[in-house]
Structure 1
Amino acid sequence: MYRSPVSFRHLQRMTDDTGLLEHCLGKIPRRAEGYTTDDNARALWACVEWWSLLESEGAKKELQDKLLELIERYLSFLLWVQRDDGTFHNNIRFDRTPEPEQPSDDCLGRTIWSCAVAYAKLTDPDLQIAVQEMLRKAIPATKQMMFPRGWAYALAACSLLLQHAQKSPSHAQDRFSQWVVFDLPERVGMLEEQLVDLYRQQAGEGWHWFEPAITYGNGVLPWGLFYAYSVTHRQDTLDIAKESLDFLIEKMTGNQGRISPIGNQGWCTREQRSNWDQQPLDVMKLALASAQAYITLKQSEYWEIVKKCHAWFYGDNDLSIPLAETADGSCCDGLRENGANRNRGAESTLSYLLTEAIWQTIEWEDDVHDCRNRQQNQDSFTCVQRI
């Protein structure tokens, strides 16, 4: 059956003619807080995923057109804030002036990933011009990256670009595709080796992780390695991706098997684990990694984790409090010991929308796969399209 998509009303509420605003007081955007490239990159990613999903499911064109308007707005923001050296300025005031800051590996990697998703899934050649220009400038800047989450995002992005180029023979003569095929394998190998080496340095008995502490956005680290395996087929990469994800799942599983994100008031070390405040971002990253593990390994336990992450937003969490509001697609900023943080900013809302997209995409692809299998086994079977 066809599932109706979530609402994008809150995302539209937070988006002006410049881009996506960062924070809200309740549901009302705080313009004084300005914008971040981090959030506009996440928004591009989320909208492209939903646009692609709705196109596959035969949704109404009116909704796709609204998403396309948002995609164009976020692409314009990213194109505007990209520096000459390929990196992206992250923090922008409401008056459109940049705030002082140090360059962020996370911001660079996250934006490269969002642009790679846009390149792989958008069909408009005029949008592709901007995406390709940003990627050509940004990917060489990954050589200067120093931090693992930036590596993981860039690794997944370069792997996705290679996958797309290799699966699209019609683009064999395209100059951008040729650049991807000839230049990116070396970049993938470099980033993959950096993450593998980091894991070998930090992991040990009872601690299967890349760092001395499990902090924020953790799922991107095994996720990046699962993506790399899809193009390099290194067994040690797959082993580390699985071992680290299984360890993260263990640390993020609470009472009665519910997802219980590691709190940001102390994080998780070999000696202790913080329970509060829990962030929607960490649930989305766990869903992202588990979905890629399921795609790679075809093991149902990872699909179960995706479903639990999805359920976390609707109240299957430590306080049994729904954080997402389906009526407008908004999400509370976190789960505190005494209740939910009622502010509904960009990061949390996008974490919810992305988790919903991850869950629905796998459900839809599994339904299509099952339908095709039944068609092969029963000549008389008619596949009911999800419309």
Structure 2
Amino acid sequence: MKISQPTRHIAFIGNYTPRRCGIATFTADICEAIATEFPEASCFAGAVNDRPEGYDYPSRVRFEIDQDDPESYTRAAEFLHINNVEVVSVQHEFGIYGGPAGSHLIGFLTQLKKPVVTTLHTVLKSPDAAQREVMTRLDELSERFVVMAERGQRLLVEVYGIDPGKIDLIPHGVIDMPFVDSNFYKDIFDAEGKTVLLTFGLLSPNKGIETAIEALPAILAEHPDVVYLIVGATHPHLLATQGEAYRESLEALAIKLGVEKQVIFHNRFVSMDELKEFIGGSDIYLTPYRNEAQITSGTLAYTFGAGKAIISTPYWHAQELLAEERGILVPFADAGAIAAAVNDLLEHPTRMTAMRKRAWKEGRKMTWPEVARRYMESFDRARAGLSVPIATVTDDVTYPIPAPKLDHLFRMTDHTGIFQHAIYSVPNYHEAYCTDDNARAFIYTVFHEVEHGPDPAIDRLASSYLAFLWYAFDANTRRFRNFMSHERHWLESNGSEDSHARALWAVGTALGHSQNEGFRNLSALLFQRGLEPVKRFSSPRAWAFTLVAIHEYLRAFSGDRAVAKMQRLLVARLVGLFQANSSPGWLWFERVATYDNAKLSHALILSGQHPAIETGLISLKWLLDEQTGDGGQFSPIGCHGFWPQGAEKARFDQQPVEAHAMVSACMAAFDVTGEQIWADHAHRCFEWFLGRNDLGVSLYDPGTGGCRDALLRDHINQNQGAESTLAFHLSRSELTRRAHGLAP
């Protein structure tokens, strides 16, 4: 059983550093924050380019999108599909994607069959027709929205009619800076002994910096030690169209007002380390933006989280963040109000310190690690809330049993044995071989001979698999080892109890069915030497696999009293387990239903002991009912959490081995009872491989003859490992052998 790991594969779409804009910085920050907070996650980015040459991106950026090229978006969607991305985090601003109101993004999301969480960096109160249409389509194509302010949340509901249940309010992340005295940093930028006012970010006219400069004469009249630092390069788009005209106008204004020595420009895009120093060394942060409809400000969030005194115009984000005396709001374009607020704070340092502490304490909820955790919760909700199609069951839908195609079985096998795993349909040498899968593969070759007669090519495969089992058996410990490296080194001295019992199942099957004398003789040696240790095993599944092995063995050697005695012992153990743990509503052997579940029922049905057979049938019927979806499809317990008694059963990741176990158990029930309903159930469980499942997609690949590894919440695991491929072929053989009237 290859239980899937909890690794999350997340793609972030938006602008990305070193592109100079707020969204590029945010995308990089949230991607890195999640990668740091969740090291098991695989995080990468798709960057949107606004120029043909792109940017010198870091390795985190795996692909690039030309914002004005629709085909580039198509290629990006396909890239995410082939990389098995589980959730996509989209940063949305109307101006960063091509097409009317950024509508190229909609084409991308339409092709993207993945759960999408869209972070809205702008929420317009009065959108035009094109913008409203984009928002309507975003609502249809996004599992969840993230906004950074309550006003944005309200606008989504009131203006766009978006379900409030799909909106997550997560603040803009902030640097986790200590609450320190600003004088600690001032020497870095030659401001010792000065009171520092700060504005930072890309320069553009909407920042209202001229208003702050106009306030300086009144501030300097009362506090002549004040300097005003303006940190940041001119916005690239403004620079491309107007050059440095805006910055030059600010410099001219400072000269006109006689404050040019107190206004200090740092005309560059500063690094994060430099930014920490500028923020740390400032006393008051000024954010005199001109537009009320500013739903997010990263610069405001950063200085707020650092516990700075803030004076701001009342744009939406500032209204919320600076409420409850965490900052001061002044009217738009009112230099006198800015001057009065600055002077008042400087004259009342105790009050300013209290305001700073309130901001800093609130900012602990906004640090990047905390924001990363909340985003991951949103991603998990997006996957959990993804609408899962239910397989439609109609009389005219058929799932014919495919003809046998063994290309992938041959591809996965070398002279040593069968490889455990594949990357897509290519053998994965890194994880090499295991006894579990070579046992399954040997069982399949035996049944292939029963159904199709001797085949030299299949015999060669069978020889490799049986040779592996022989080499896996340690005569000293009388145990089978399980995992072997590609260099043919055993990675353990003893394998698991389950792998030991699966090896017995394989050689028992050869003794019961194979016509190859060499295979039978070697299998007899392994069976006889490996059976005795099972007495000391505690795994119920090991007992069950061994009982299936014994059933096959006794087909050929029914008079073996020692083996019959072991059968009675293991049957008694399984029946006792059922009696100890079952109750009304929980007709099962354990307090948690885990993996290869039907094999427990299957083993008792094969036992030939009537009370045990009845227990097997009762438990199998219960398990079948509990694993039948609303559309009548087989819906096995997922291995991502399994099903503890009294808790909710895991619906995903559904494994092919579960379908195979059910097919085998149901066919055994059919053989014992003669009731056609059990054969019908077996066929329905087999159809899970072909698309009659919770997603309505086929796990079997008719092109390769392989089977994908799992049915996940929103897609299938595209890897075609040995366990999955053999689960399909063994299930198919169960059905077709009976259809041809061959012995079960």
TM-score in same-fold range (> 0.5): yes
Q: Does 1:294 align with 2:664?
A: no
The Cα shift of 1:235 comes to 2.6
CA deviations 1:192-246 (Å, max 9, x no partner) are 10001011000011100000011100011000001112xxxx3320221011001
The equivalent position to 1:79 in structure 2, one of 470, 491, 502, is 470
The equivalent position to 1:184 in structure 2, one of 558, 563, 567, is 563
CA deviations 1:20-56 (Å, max 9, x no partner) are 011111001110111000000000011111121112x
1:354 alignment counterpart: 730
Q: Does 1:235 align with 2:610?
A: yes
2:500 alignment counterpart: 108
Q: Does 1:42 align with 2:421?
A: no
Q: Does 1:256 align with 2:631?
A: yes
CA deviations 1:78-97 (Å, max 9, x no partner) are 00110113221001111000
SS in 2 for 1:18: coil
C-alpha separation in 2, matches of 1:68 and 1:327:
24
Higher RCO structure, 1 or 2 (CA under 8 Å, sep 6+):
1
2:622 alignment counterpart: 247
Is the 2:444–2:730 contact (alpha carbons within 8 Å) kept by the matching residues of 1? yes
Higher share in strand: 2
The Cα shift of 1:102 comes to 5.3
Is the 1:24–1:343 contact (alpha carbons within 8 Å) kept by the matching residues of 2? yes
The Cα shift of 1:103 comes to 3.5
The Cα shift of 1:344 comes to 0.4
| 1:258-277 mapped onto 2 (5 Å cutoff) | 258-269=633-644, 270-277=646-653
| 1:80-229 mapped onto 2 (5 Å cutoff) | 80-84=471-475, 85-100=477-492, 103-166=495-558, 181-229=560-608
Aligned length: 341
CA deviations 1:262-318 (Å, max 9, x no partner) are 111211233311111110010100111101001001111111111112211111111
Note closer, same or farther for the CA distance 1:147–1:4 as it changes in structure 2 (3 Å cut).
Answer: closer
1:374 alignment counterpart: none
Q: Does 1:280 align with 2:656?
A: yes
SS in 1 for 2:522: helix
C-alpha separation in 1, matches of 2:555 and 2:720:
35
Note closer, same or farther for the CA distance 1:202–1:101 as it changes in structure 2 (3 Å cut).
Answer: farther
TM-score by length of 2: 0.45
SS in 1 for 2:447: helix
Larger radius of gyration: 2
The Cα shift of 1:163 comes to 2.6
| 1:7-26 mapped onto 2 (5 Å cutoff) | 7-26=405-424
The equivalent position to 1:331 in structure 2, one of 700, 704, 707, is 707
Q: How big is the alpha-carbon RMSD for the aligned residues of Structure 1 and Structure 2? A: 1.6
CA deviations 1:94-152 (Å, max 9, x no partner) are 10001136541111111101101111221122222211111111111111111100001
C-alpha separation in 1, matches of 2:625 and 2:438:
32
TM-score by length of 1: 0.85
SS in 2 for 1:20: coil
AA of the residue aligned to 2:526: M
* Structure 1 gap ranges (5+): 56-60, 167-179, 369-387
SS in 1 for 2:409: helix
C-alpha separation in 1, matches of 2:610 and 2:411:
46
SS in 2 for 1:344: coil
SS in 1 for 2:479: coil
Is the 1:331–1:349 contact (alpha carbons within 8 Å) kept by the matching residues of 2? yes
Higher share in helix: 1
Q: Does 1:342 align with 2:718?
A: yes
C-alpha separation in 1, matches of 2:450 and 2:702:
20
AA of the residue aligned to 2:515: T
C-alpha separation in 2, matches of 1:364 and 1:113:
24
Q: Which moved more, 1:136-145 or 1:193-202?
A: 136-145
Is the 2:606–2:613 contact (alpha carbons within 8 Å) kept by the matching residues of 1? no
C-alpha separation in 1, matches of 2:557 and 2:480:
25
Is the 1:309–1:355 contact (alpha carbons within 8 Å) kept by the matching residues of 2? no
SS in 2 for 1:146: coil
The Cα shift of 1:362 comes to 1.8
Is the 2:605–2:614 contact (alpha carbons within 8 Å) kept by the matching residues of 1? no
C-alpha separation in 2, matches of 1:31 and 1:208:
42
